[in-house]
Structure 1
Amino acid sequence: MDDQNRNMILAIVLSALVILGWTLLFPPEEATMTDDQVSETSAPANPATAPAPPGSTNAPQDGSPAAVAVDAPRIEIDTPALSGSISLIGGRIDELALKNYHVEVDESSPLVELLNPVASDRPYYALFGWAPGGDLAYEDVPGAQTPWQVVEGETLSPGNPVTLEWDNGNGLVFRRTISVDEDYMFTVDQSVLNSTGNAVRLAPYGTVARHGDMDLAGFFILHEGVVRMSDGELQELDYDDLPDLDQIAREGGPADVIEVIEDGWIGFTDKYWMTTLIPTPGTSFTSVAKFVPGGEIYQTEARLPTLEVAPGETGSTSLRLFAGAKEWETILNYQEQGIDGFVDSIDWGWFFFLTKPIFVALHWLNGVIGNMGWAIIVLTLGIKALLLPLAYKSYVSMAKMKELQPEMEKMKEKAGDDRQKLQQGMMELYKKNKVNPAAGCLPILLQIPIFFSLYKVIFVTLELRHAPWLLWIDDLSAPDPSSILNLFGLLPWGTPDPSSFLAILSLGVLPILLGISMWLQQKLNPAPADATQAMIFAWMPWVFMFMLGQFASGLVLYWIANNTITFTQQYAIMRSQGYKPDLLGNILGSFRRNKDAK
């Protein structure tokens, strides 16, 4: 086996192993329950049922927080991007749908629901309040079951905030003003008027809580769970990590608490959506991620510094809540307004130095062209143009290698079984003709990180979700919906469920074109003389076709465009060097060899 073919096979095998690894799924493990307590400056351990003595204004009337949530009066939320409501029991933001996003490609499908009340199947909500300090008790501060009254505003919308009020009956009057912009940012301003005659200490907080099992994508390349920024350091925690961290804290170890000095934020991120607490930039706070008892509750908190409010004075604080879609432009705009590292809430992965510029280029091309599919093709052209100098050297070297093929065959005959003599002769031949046998595999190896980065971009960025190309490709983030099993829709039956093993046989048009493009590119070169090498090369296009068959259409489209451009480049460059590939002869020759083998 000569060096060129050995390196080529090695590159292909490495590529196959990498791509096969990406297809593995690792569903999150089910978490276990633990306990937690409340300190002077912490939020309630269970935000759905904040501790309160029976009979107090903080306690649910029938002992059921779910029943209270169902019957609670509400304030409507209506913005260009959001619809939902705020419960006046606890003043929690717990009902939110995204107006611009549907569950399916069909716009008649339901809107994506981000937040849900405690009484729903998957409770997910934001709660704000005060933790008592000094001589105050829980019934003296507003909590999860506090009955707020509306004093200003009717419907929460951009430019129309609402103000809630609660009088604890013991000299403290609490106010909460909630405002929202045209995108996904809420601002919650809280204040307390002290008329008790004594100084009081209390600590404001914000909580985002999720109950029960998460409905996750479950791909190992995607982070779903806690995401937070703490003074410039990004941290990601999976949901199944939180119970373990909580247990460590109970055994005397460090809890998952970070003291943020100046800038930070914390919340939960899904594949495309996020709910994040954001204290005012430049202020300190305590960032907490934990798992609490009483119904499998995952919780993030932003605990603000304790305030001491003198008699007759008013203490105030402010906290923002991002609840919406991870749109790159929107998040980048918030970052430019002072939220440190907010764009890193998008999961760019280890190859962020590639995924970020690739996405920015795709986003810009999509804005110019108006179609993400054509943007992928134009991006492929740009990538190939950048790699052209290296590709040129590679293809020139390959052309020279083909010219040396007759001499190499003579060397093999003369050397016989003396492998050392053959290798020495070949090295001298390469050196004499200035040929680098490893040059042929370099472009293939460079494609691996680019391929992975584009896969990451297509998989995690919202802008590719439900993005159409043409004809039947109406979602570039999903596999090709056509199938050879029903002759691409001509036969009157459906296709296997995507989660079933049979789905790998359900090849669409794009994966088949991918296999053909790889096969044609392979035929630019004469088949290896060695039977094992020939068999490996013969099967490789079809193995890749099935491996990539259930990948996102956008990724398969990139690979087809890449193969087509590579084929054109290689053909033109090799002809310019005096080597004229016998493409038709190679194709017919492969058919004859297959026939003879049978």
Structure 2
Amino acid sequence: MDNKRFILALALSFAVFVGWQMLFPQPAPKSNAPVQEQAVQQAQGEAPAPINPLAGENGEQGTPSPQDFVPTAGKDIHVETPLFRATFNTSGGVLERFVLRNYHEGIEAGSKQVDLIGAKSVSKGPLGVIIRRRGSENHTWLNGKWAYEGAEQISIGEGEKHVLVFKGRAAGFELERRLTIHSDSYLITEALTMVNLEERGTEAGVAFTAAAKSMTAEDNQYNPTRIAWLVNDGRSEEDDRETLQEEGVSAAGGLKWGAIESNYFIMSIVPNNPDASLFASVQNGIFRMAVDQSDTFQPGMSKTLETSYYLGPADRGLLASMPNDLDQAVNFGWFDPLAKPMLMALVFFNQYVNNYGMAIIILTIIIKVIFWPLSQKSYKSMDKMKQLQPMIQKLREKYGDDKQRLNQETMALYKTYKVNPASGCLPMLVQIPVFFGLYKALLGAIELRHAPFIEYLPGTDIVWLADLSAKDPLYITPIIMGATMFLQQKMTPSTGDPTQQKIMMFMPLVFTFLFLQFPAGLVVYWLMNNVLSIGQQWLITSKSSKKKAA
């Protein structure tokens, strides 16, 4: 195998890998199961109308029987815990704000804390309830009557919990929503008790909803806001906004959770019903999601439906303690089995150096040490190939027009000097999955969000690598990275034809341009890896020169 061609193929593969992800994100499979189920239900008679968050907010209000129920005007209930500040509206118990106290939008002093909801999302009913029966769809926060008794300012101290109780009437049901909030968790659990106030039994669909503003810029290729879900067949996601706006996504078949998420934050619904289904879409820039389940309600009988909501950081440690395998919301694709252990190592090193930039450098050194013998073998093979270049060039001049004869003579030359051209490539093949795993990990780790490395350019007050999840604002690291890559190319034996050599010398420029927009943490890793590779390559070349001199 021609080493130069392999390196060129590897470089181009990386460029294609990144470019393809940016331009053509893999579409998630869409389930038609909910539509099929609804068709069967409608054929049988009374059936809930399908939930479609793209539809209007209209719905029929059921006629409640006269009982002791006094609705109150909607007002805000403010809840504060050590982790977040939340504002609920008593009209349906919808969530108007959910502010994460430990996370800010930017690194600037006075930057706002992250609000997962956003003002424009409130009308879409985040944490609302939709009831479907006999072809009508009732958005209870709009068409129901609600009452609330309790304090309007609630502070939950460490180790405590509080239960918000919202009582209402909608779609012929008496409703009681009990939302339990814990001081030390981002998980909110709900018990919804429903009583059928009509004189006959009925089948009804009940959907718990979520709505959130886009968590990232629409053109953010490395960190898109997306819809993700987990069913019995596995995890899926969709981040193409055009698809979400025009078609939406649906899923059924053992739905464990659905989520609106970015690399760093997540708003999820975790049903306590294996028959629940999901529908999600984007409407006017707002991400919407409904997790629906159907049940039969006899007259005067009450039933309690349970679900949970997680609103908070995409922290793997926190998600691991959540129900229904919610930790799978953080997923690095094919390289997930490699990415997560390396992130664990990164967190471990940071505990001692208290700087994720240094932790990245330490991890890079350790990976380099682990693969040192393989790299050593590869570089030695390249050095042997370099020594044969004059003879290979003569063969090209002699048999340039006869490719078959040229290949035969070249292989005979390798055999005579006991050089295996593939020995320089195979060690590098083993390292490729590790590299891409670390690439995916550094691209999506919440630990690197707003984590500083070198906050100010040395000797100045100019902000530099103050956020490893953002690009280098001065473009210093990607330019140095490109220079080290160019130096590597100069040190690597030139085994290809002149055209290949020109393409290879052009690759550092391509990669520099590509890395200008990469998160600084990833550029630091690649730069450090290049420096170590140059050092290793220099050592081998130096030893080889000494042997020749002797």
Query: Which band: TM-score by shorter chain?
Result: 0.7 to 0.9
Secondary structure in 1 matching 2:320 = helix
Q: Aligned in 2, Cα 1:529/1:395: closer, same or farther, shift over 3 Å?
A: closer
Task: Pick the aligned partner of 1:302 from 286, 291, 295.
Answer: 291
Query: What code does the residue aligned with 1:367 have?
Result: Q
1:107-126 aligned within 5 A: 107-117=109-119, 120=120, 125-126=125-126
Mapped partners of 1:219, 1:384: distance in 2:
31
Across the aligned residues of Structure 1 and Structure 2, the Cα RMSD in angstroms comes to: 4.2
Q: 2:156 is matched with which residue? A: 157
Query: Identity of paired residues, percent?
Result: 29
Mapped partners of 1:42, 1:19: distance in 2:
38
Q: 2:524 is matched with which residue? A: 557
Q: Aligned in 2, Cα 1:122/1:577: closer, same or farther, shift over 3 Å?
A: farther
Q: 1:175 is matched with which residue? A: 176
Q: C-alpha offsets along residues 144-202 of structure 1, whole Å, 9 cap, x if unaligned?
A: 34343223455263634243343649996532221123231111122246788876765
Task: Pick the aligned partner of 2:311 from 314, 323, 344.
Answer: 323
Query: What code does the residue aligned with 1:237 have?
Result: E
Q: C-alpha offsets along residues 359-391 of structure 1, whole Å, 9 cap, x if unaligned?
A: 333233333432211121122223223323322
The question of whether the paired residues in 2 share the 8 Å contact of 1:276 and 1:322 is answered with yes
Task: Pick the aligned partner of 2:60 from 36, 52, 64.
Answer: 52
Mapped partners of 2:205, 2:106: distance in 1:
43
1:262-281 aligned within 5 A: 264-280=256-272
Task: Pick the aligned partner of 1:95 from 97, 117, 124.
Answer: 97
Mapped partners of 1:9, 1:198: distance in 2:
73
Query: What code does the residue aligned with 1:284 have?
Result: P
5+ long unaligned stretches in structure 2: 28-37, 66-72, 457-463
The question of whether the paired residues in 1 share the 8 Å contact of 2:62 and 2:170 is answered with no
2:250 maps to 1:256: yes
Q: 1:395 is matched with which residue? A: 379
Query: What code does the residue aligned with 1:474 have?
Result: A
Query: What code does the residue aligned with 1:126 have?
Result: P
The question of whether the paired residues in 2 share the 8 Å contact of 1:166 and 1:174 is answered with yes
1:196-275 aligned within 5 A: 203-209=205-211, 216-219=217-220, 224-231=225-232, 233-238=234-239, 239-242=241-244, 244-245=246-247, 256-260=250-254, 264-275=256-267
- TM-score, normalised to structure 2, is 0.78
Mapped partners of 2:491, 2:327: distance in 1:
44
1:543-582 aligned within 5 A: 543-576=510-543
Shift of 1:73: 0.7
2:346 maps to 1:352: no
- TM-score, normalised to structure 1, is 0.73
Secondary structure in 1 matching 2:333 = coil
Mapped partners of 2:92, 2:264: distance in 1:
28
1:131-530 aligned within 5 A: 131=131, 142-152=140-150, 154=152, 155=154, 157=156, 159-166=160-167, 168=169, 173-181=174-182, 182-192=184-194, 203-209=205-211, 216-219=217-220, 224-231=225-232, 233-238=234-239, 239-242=241-244, 244-245=246-247, 256-260=250-254, 264-280=256-272, 283-291=273-281, 299-309=288-298, 311=300, 314-334=302-322, 339-408=323-392, 420-442=404-426, 448-470=432-454, 471=456, 472-482=464-474, 508-525=475-492
Aligned residue-pair number: 514
Mapped partners of 2:198, 2:401: distance in 1:
100
Shift of 1:268: 1.8
The question of whether the paired residues in 1 share the 8 Å contact of 2:414 and 2:421 is answered with yes
Shift of 1:308: 2.9
Q: 1:497 is matched with which residue? A: none
Secondary structure in 1 matching 2:290 = strand
Q: C-alpha offsets along residues 301-339 of structure 1, whole Å, 9 cap, x if unaligned?
A: 22234253564x5432221111222112111221xxxx2
Mapped partners of 2:133, 2:282: distance in 1:
22
